[in-house]
Structure 1
């Protein structure tokens, strides 16, 4: 707690990945909005966000699973690129070579000194010793184990060679003992006789336990007794003989990795080496017997020293750490690739991930695990029939997001690019103004708007008008309108990347009418092979139809039926990317043909004529128009006298909403 009268200090600095990322729930919702509309499923949208991550408004990065998996791959590559499993064996070979060179020099110097003495008996003795010892040194076996065994029985002439050999054997002794048993952190030579005897008994008891386990005997009581007495030599949490065996196999794998022992024959040589690195014969035999028992089980470890390509030699302890880290990385990767929801990430050990990969990766996964709960707590999504769905609040939020996106992209040049009459939305102006809100017609009061800019800027030129400065003129009365939005849901829409843009328009238009013109009527008709009415509340979850066919005739017919008893201005807004390829036959069945059949064209134009006679204006917004489609839409416009707009998907929203307001105010 801060002392009374003291001031808290705040330091600012570049975000480096270690700070905790604070993410507003609105940021999360904005990030999934497009995916939510495209897939129509909150969980699919959250999975997509989980995989790609996001950048927060304050400049921080929340890494996605794709980046975290890449970081796992890099860390694994770093480990493989650092160490050389054959390095330890090479290190021992070089040490033995140096010992032999020291001993041979001593023998030569001894023989030379005897020769210089002119003492015949001394010379004879020196020559015999020289020849015998050189023969012994030349006859050392090819393996490290055989060399250690032979040199252990050899009477060194060189004190330096003797000291270096004793140091080498002691270091190897420490490698084996410390690598397998956590309680033995010092050389056995420093143990008291009592400690040494206890250590012998432990390895003997361990060998007996493994032998009984391999014979399929019940070892539960023997295991409990063993761990009660020797449990301090092993990591905590080992619960049974099999888990103890798994731990020992990992240590055996580490020993094999450290000495580059890939085959069982090499591992047996490793056991021979363990047997010859300590003067205590009983203990050496027990350790080598343990390694011999473990060696046949090593096939299941599935590691290959050839994966390593570095230059640093490894001790058994280092090899154990490397294998443990690689195992953890594999386990994390396997889990990350199997998860289905952000909530599944909560089962991860974030402290472990921080230690293995870094705090940025751990913090990102922690934040991703909280995505669903944050949106649920904010009332934007919820569970319905064991399925994640948008709530009423989420529906409003997605609509406002799409509407704001369209209006944010509107500018004077866009508005001026259309033949629009700027008369306001009422019969007469009442000469009052109000701050502009999304959904309001842009009847700007220029004087009030510029005055707001000057106040906000506190003077100065040039004036930079912001949306918050907009002031619009209000009107006395509102003209009601009835609109049906016909939305093409045929398979060509997603295949040509037009589906998301069209769906955004539908959501934005629905939100605009429900918020700015609540007395207006809006219906939505989706069409592909056939047409069907879509409730506005179901719009975010609507997906394309996995069928071929663009049935404009059925869409226009159902729209005309919906508008039959509606008042005010009646219009159909048609959004499509294809010519009519389907219509309804007299028996009620859909007919499909591509290229479009003549009867389909005639049936569609006949419905256009019926809509025209019913006083319904058809304004069409066409994406990716072909010459054939342009010719057809020109016929529609000629019959109905509505407008046809040929738009890019990125401009579709602006075209539809600007034209809608223009039609409403004309």
Structure 2
């Protein structure tokens, strides 16, 4: 029998014992993403919420919260207009909270955590042993095991240590990956009353925080695409806004390939978050646009670029935030010519899908 089971409300244990400021700060950070970093609009929303739901109390009001935000360096009003602006501390906090929300608490496993199925000339020690090979350093030699081998091979009476007796501590091969994350900021990302850009921004911030804190030798470049495509900095992610744009997937892929072409790493990949078909091309200074169905001119150009990415060894993983049959048909064609991956995701599951695919792709070396 299907139905609902009701239980007593249990407060979030993570919020128990938190100060009023910390509880309000969590709401503030969430709204900062939704308002694209507009501090004044965020505080107006919080004031409205306070009037309706009493999120503050008699001892600690919104004025106290705003003053504490200033005192702790989250916002500043030191500008000509006297309005509030976010600080670098706020940007870091937003990225950290996005990482924790989407990926959960990461366990400490040492700096790097570069896992591959291969051993090699890395500097991360493993528990495996192997025979000595010319070029191995003295520090790698496992002396205890090597001496034991000499005793077994030559006896105790005439102790001799030869090259064939030596064993070394193997090291794990460290991979490095260059990733370009493409984010669709066309108008359809907020169309029909559904906010798709906020989850996309959260994923981008979480991925940026993951790479910059856990995979420090990897690179992450972020580009947005609408009628055109351009690169944005990690610090600008909370402030991304959807524009009155069409979807120029070609421009996004061309810029992503140009960025990766300059990277020296062997592992390169593109992640593309989008909710719609390509609808735009740029020819000189003019745009060719068609929002109805799949335009063959735009589609063929997009598929050609997907095939070109495949030839240079750059897989494209597409995360489609939509379920329309004709959109799936486009993604299937694009994935086939690129030999990449595609996911048709709900907004709730988007973060976990990107995380898993990032970790899987970075563990192997793509052949060119």
Sort the Cα spacing of 1:373 and 1:607 in 2 relative to 1 into closer, same or farther, 3 A: same
How far 1:23 sits from its partner (Å)?
Answer: 3.0
Q: Is the CA contact 1:43–1:388 (under 8 Å) kept in the aligned structure 2?
A: yes
Q: Is the CA contact 1:403–1:509 (under 8 Å) kept in the aligned structure 2?
A: yes
Q: 2:331 aligned with 1:633, yes or no? A: yes
- RMSD over aligned Cα, in angstroms? 2.6
Q: Is the CA contact 1:529–1:592 (under 8 Å) kept in the aligned structure 2?
A: no
- Aligned equivalents of 2:255, 2:329: Cα separation in 1: 24
Match of 2:93 in 1: 397
Match of 2:51 in 1: 65
How far 1:426 sits from its partner (Å)?
Answer: 8.0
- Aligned equivalents of 1:373, 1:625: Cα separation in 2: 45
**Which of 7, 31, 34 is matched with 2:30 structurally?**
34
Q: 2:195 aligned with 1:501, yes or no? A: no
Sort the Cα spacing of 1:362 and 1:656 in 2 relative to 1 into closer, same or farther, 3 A: closer
Residue correspondence of structure 1 range 525-564 to structure 2 within 5 A: 525-545=223-243, 547-564=244-261
Sort the Cα spacing of 1:43 and 1:478 in 2 relative to 1 into closer, same or farther, 3 A: farther
Q: 2:220 aligned with 1:489, yes or no? A: no
Sort the Cα spacing of 1:588 and 1:46 in 2 relative to 1 into closer, same or farther, 3 A: same
What secondary structure is seen at the aligned counterpart in 2 of 1:572? Answer: strand
- Aligned equivalents of 1:648, 1:397: Cα separation in 2: 26
Match of 1:575 in 2: 273
Sort the Cα spacing of 1:48 and 1:426 in 2 relative to 1 into closer, same or farther, 3 A: farther
Structure 1 segments, 4+ long, off by >6 Å, are none
- Aligned equivalents of 1:391, 1:490: Cα separation in 2: 28
What secondary structure is seen at the aligned counterpart in 2 of 1:363? Answer: coil
Q: 2:44 aligned with 1:47, yes or no? A: yes
Q: Number of matched residues?
A: 288
Sort the Cα spacing of 1:588 and 1:605 in 2 relative to 1 into closer, same or farther, 3 A: farther
Larger Rg computed on CA atoms: 1
User: Mind listing any 5+ residue stretches in structure 2 that lack a counterpart?
Assistant: 1-16, 107-112, 128-170
TM-score norm. by structure 1 comes to 0.41
Q: Is the CA contact 2:183–2:272 (under 8 Å) kept in the aligned structure 1?
A: yes
How far 1:43 sits from its partner (Å)?
Answer: 2.3
Match of 1:376 in 2: 70
How far 1:606 sits from its partner (Å)?
Answer: 1.9
- Aligned equivalents of 2:296, 2:190: Cα separation in 1: 27
Q: 2:115 aligned with 1:424, yes or no? A: yes
How far 1:371 sits from its partner (Å)?
Answer: 2.1
Match of 2:84 in 1: 388
Sort the Cα spacing of 1:363 and 1:588 in 2 relative to 1 into closer, same or farther, 3 A: same
TM-score norm. by structure 2 comes to 0.72
Q: Which has the higher helix share?
A: 1
Deviations 1:597-623 (A, max 9, x none): 221111211222222222211001111
Residue correspondence of structure 1 range 169-568 to structure 2 within 5 A: 363=58, 366-383=60-77, 385=79, 386=81, 387-408=83-104, 424=115, 427-428=118-119, 430-431=125-126, 476-495=172-191, 496-545=194-243, 547-566=244-263, 567-568=265-266
Q: 2:322 aligned with 1:624, yes or no? A: yes
How far 1:498 sits from its partner (Å)?
Answer: 1.3
How far 1:390 sits from its partner (Å)?
Answer: 2.4
User: Mind listing any 5+ residue stretches in structure 1 that lack a counterpart?
Assistant: 1-20, 53-63, 69-359, 411-421, 433-474
